[in-house]
A = this chain, B = another copy of it.
Amino acid sequence: MQFDRCESQCIHEEAVAAVSGKMLSGEEAQSLADTFKTLADPNRVKIIFSLMHQELCVCDLAAVIGASDSAVSHQLRMLRNQKLVKFRREGKILYYSLADEHIDTLLKQGLKHISHSKEWAARFLEFI
């Protein structure tokens, strides 16, 4: 492949070749990164965490996480684009909920990693 593009002398050629053969494409890595990026903000984490318990409208979410309606609406757009949440309309009110159960698992897996270093994380894993 393009070993010549590498600037270093220390390459283990077989290892590099083996892993390169299985590597994600740039676009694939970007998609995965975008998925995690969606959960890479404390307010969005709080939104997902809230919706794990029950569906909520925009201003309920704003009240729960302590942000403005507008800020929450902006974040919800991102969560919608990444298909992490869905909504149903009832008159003027939009009720948001998680798009599927994988989101739930994804957040729990994050908590599981944190529980290695922080005690509080283990507590949440018991109750959700």
Contacts and interface: CB of A to CB of B under 8 A. Distances in A.
Interface of A: 2-3, 5-12, 15-16, 18-20, 22-24, 26, 28-46, 49-50, 53-54, 56-57, 59-60, 62-66, 68-69, 83-84, 93, 100, 102-103, 105-107, 109-114, 116-118, 120-121, 124, 127-128
A110 B116 contact: no
In the complex, the 7 A-B pairs of residues with the closest C-beta atoms, listed nearest first: A8-B59, A37-B40, A29-B42, A36-B39, A6-B63, A40-B40, A36-B40
Interface centre among A2, A32, A127 (most CB of B within 10 A): A32
A73 B90 CA distance: 51
B15 A29 contact: no
Nearest to A103: B113
B41 A33 contact: yes
A94 to B, nearest CB: 10
Given A24-B45, A28-B121, A33-B40, 6 more contacts: A6-B62, A11-B59, A23-B49, A32-B42, A102-B113, A103-B113
